[in-house]
Structure 1
Amino acid sequence: MTNPEKSNDALSRRTFLKSAALAGAGSLAARDANAAATSENPQETTMANQTSSGQVPRRPFGKTGQQVSILGVGGFHLGSAKDQQTVNAMVGKAVDAGVNFFDNAWEYHEGEAEERLGIALQGKRDKVILMTKVCTHGRDKKVAMEQLEQSLRRLKTDHLDVWQIHEVVYYNDPDLIFRPDGAIEALEQAKKDGKVRWVGFTGHKDPAIHLKMLSHDFPFDTIQMPLNCFDARFRSFQQHVLPDANRRGMAVLGMKSLGGSGELVTHGGVTPEEGLRYAMSLPVATTISGMDSELILDQNLAIASSFTPMSAGERKALEDRCRALSADGRLERFKTTTMYDGKVGREQHQYPEVEKLPA
């Protein structure tokens, strides 16, 4: 499939890299000193675990007993990288830097994203927490189990660490997922069969849909949601879903820290460092970032390896600075438009083609 993000990512990411490279590099030392001096919450100062110098820190992965890197690698963008050689180099560099979380989905690039990651992880599989997503979009357990077998073959592994229901973004999705013979039964079966260690779900549209999923009290291990410095003001996952997920002991996977295609940087006046550092300072297990080149990977590794949490005061100051642009979701297009909704999901819900990103 062609993901609607793809046509915008390359231009957006290259634009914000050019505009923010100096700002990101120049502020690391000042940031570290300021964070240490101003953090008023003891939990915030201990969120990043002790780690070797230059390595990406790790945190508890929910109640699983595992440790996960605070930075995760997004699977869709690996599928957008130049070639397999580039993907191999990026995955190797990330693992060497201490990154151990890799995201993917059955439908990304019609399976090529999983295939690329599977090749790149050869000889490294036991060093990572490998996650992919099932893309039934309302279809039944049988479809889900078929997709699981396809994902395992593509990823060249006999089990997944995390299997999540992808793109829970339509208001009837929870009903379809929890119906008899629905996708939720596939999650149970896969876990029982030992093909999956932990299960969860993802979505980016409306916190009410996440809350409806959680209202079923299914023992999800993980949950994925958009968390960034604009989210606090509009359809806020941070305000409405994150506390419930933390109360349940779930491993929270943050995404879209820069808006999905860098919108918070290119149009919102936020530097990559500010955006990532804000997202990583929330009570999450990891922040998944889309990276389609070594240049972007290097930028994010530098931010993550030098990470110290923002204080509550620093986070509020950034939220207030972004207030004018964050109140109506204009730069969180994954919430307010269809351009981030995958083609397969729209087809299964009988919706027309996605909107095009305005110039």
Structure 2
Amino acid sequence: KSARRDGEGLLEELEVSLRNLRTEYVDLYQLHNISRREQWEQVQAPGGALEAARQALEEGKIRHLGVTSHNPRLALELVESGHFETLMIPFNYLTPEPAERLLPRCKELGVGTIAMKPFGGGALSNASTALKHVLLNPYVDVVIPGVMSVEEVEENYRVWSGDHALQPGELESIERDRAELGDSFCRACDYCQPCPQGIPISFLLRAEKQMLRRMGWSEERAQRVAEALKLGETCIKCGQCEERCPYGLKIRELLPPTMASLRVHLENRTIP
């Protein structure tokens, strides 16, 4: 995939991929993170990434062209443009919008669907439940859960090959996550970066629920939290992070109370 909006940049990155993979072509190449209208306009412009990707298709360096997006409404326009054979989109029980119109429309158009972030960037409380929820949707063709170990690969396979019906306890877990997280939680995509002040935004927004609740305190984690809080205090409220966030999070509003709570837990070594 390439996040370059210009044709020259996309072709450069494609050549790097071909060299690294030691191949003459890739089966699927994706225009990455077309989530804002100006990005869509940039790649469609003369000399843009879409023109270059079509050229690579004609030359046989790409067998199929896809697109990734974090914006279901814009993604509907992307798939209806006729340029793309696959769409990669975030989809989980806290990001359900794609199931309403987008995924069924992809099926109608013969566009393959790839569901990313089935675990909400690690925010959802039970990975197996989250994966089953996505697999239950008949309009999802492929799910790409993140993994950090062979054991997680094996667990994902067990979920995929088993019964996908959600049990009462799992449904309760989903409702708890919905009540606690809502839609204003960080998915750790880090598109908000780079911060001009060097603030580790996603780490601060996720430290309590995604790190401390699961792993607890250690001296190393305490030092990392203290350093992150110190950087967080330098925020100049420029808003660059909010302009980049594909989920529209109001980061400048979220950081202060999150940091205040995290600071109390750091001082007392308590678990949120």
Structure 1 residue 238 displacement after superposition: 2.3
What is the correspondence of 1:3-82 to structure 2 with a 5 Å cutoff?
A: none
Distance 1:339 1:253, change over 3 A: closer
Give 2:31's match in structure 1, choosing from 162, 165, 170: 165
Residue 226 (1) aligns with residue 87 (2) = no
Aligned length in residues: 202
Q: Which has the higher helix share?
A: 2
Structure 2 match to 1:194? 60
Contact 1:231–1:326 (CA under 8 A) maintained in structure 2: no
Letter aligned with residue 45 of structure 2: R
Structure 1 match to 2:143? 287
Q: C-alpha separation between the residues in 2 aligned to 1:310 and 1:354?
A: 41
SS in 1 for 2:50: helix
Residue 254 (1) aligns with residue 115 (2) = yes
Structure 1 residue 300 displacement after superposition: 1.3
Structure 1 residue 315 displacement after superposition: 9.6
Alpha-carbon deviations, 1:103-148, whole Å to 9, x = none?
A: xxxxxxxxxxxxxxxxxxxxxxxxxxxxxx1120x2x111111111
Letter aligned with residue 227 of structure 1: F
Residue 147 (1) aligns with residue 13 (2) = yes
Alpha-carbon deviations, 1:251-281, whole Å to 9, x = none?
A: 1000101111x1112xxxxx22111111112
**% identity of equivalent residues:** 26
Alpha-carbon deviations, 1:182-226, whole Å to 9, x = none?
A: 11112211111111111111122x3223234235x1331100001
Contact 1:339–1:355 (CA under 8 A) maintained in structure 2: no
Q: C-alpha separation between the residues in 2 aligned to 1:353 and 1:224?
A: 29
Structure 1 residue 353 displacement after superposition: 6.2
Structure 2 match to 1:356? 201
Where in structure 1 are there 5+ consecutive unaligned residues? 1-132, 266-270
Q: C-alpha separation between the residues in 2 aligned to 1:254 and 1:353?
A: 31
Alpha-carbon deviations, 1:26-84, whole Å to 9, x = none?
A: xxxxxxxxxxxxxxxxxxxxxxxxxxxxxxxxxxxxxxxxxxxxxxxxxxxxxxxxxxx
Structure 2 match to 1:341? 191
Contact 2:78–2:84 (CA under 8 A) maintained in structure 1: no
What is the correspondence of 1:48-127 to structure 2 with a 5 Å cutoff?
A: none
Contact 2:30–2:65 (CA under 8 A) maintained in structure 1: yes
Distance 1:219 1:171, change over 3 A: closer
Structure 2 match to 1:211? 76
Larger Rg: 2
Q: C-alpha separation between the residues in 2 aligned to 1:241 and 1:197?
A: 24
Letter aligned with residue 136 of structure 2: S
Q: C-alpha separation between the residues in 1 aligned to 2:72 and 2:41?
A: 16
Contact 1:222–1:253 (CA under 8 A) maintained in structure 2: yes
Residue 134 (1) aligns with residue 2 (2) = yes
Structure 1 match to 2:104? 243
SS in 2 for 1:185: helix
SS in 2 for 1:219: coil
Residue 263 (1) aligns with residue 119 (2) = no
Contact 2:34–2:67 (CA under 8 A) maintained in structure 1: yes
Q: C-alpha separation between the residues in 1 aligned to 2:73 and 2:127?
A: 28
Letter aligned with residue 180 of structure 1: P
Distance 1:355 1:201, change over 3 A: farther
Contact 1:162–1:198 (CA under 8 A) maintained in structure 2: yes
Distance 1:319 1:238, change over 3 A: farther
Structure 1 residue 165 displacement after superposition: 0.8
TM-score (ref. length: structure 2): 0.65
Contact 1:341–1:354 (CA under 8 A) maintained in structure 2: no
Letter aligned with residue 184 of structure 2: R
Q: C-alpha separation between the residues in 2 aligned to 1:353 and 1:209?
A: 30
Where in structure 2 are there 5+ consecutive unaligned residues? 208-272
Letter aligned with residue 304 of structure 1: W
Q: C-alpha separation between the residues in 2 aligned to 1:352 and 1:241?
A: 37
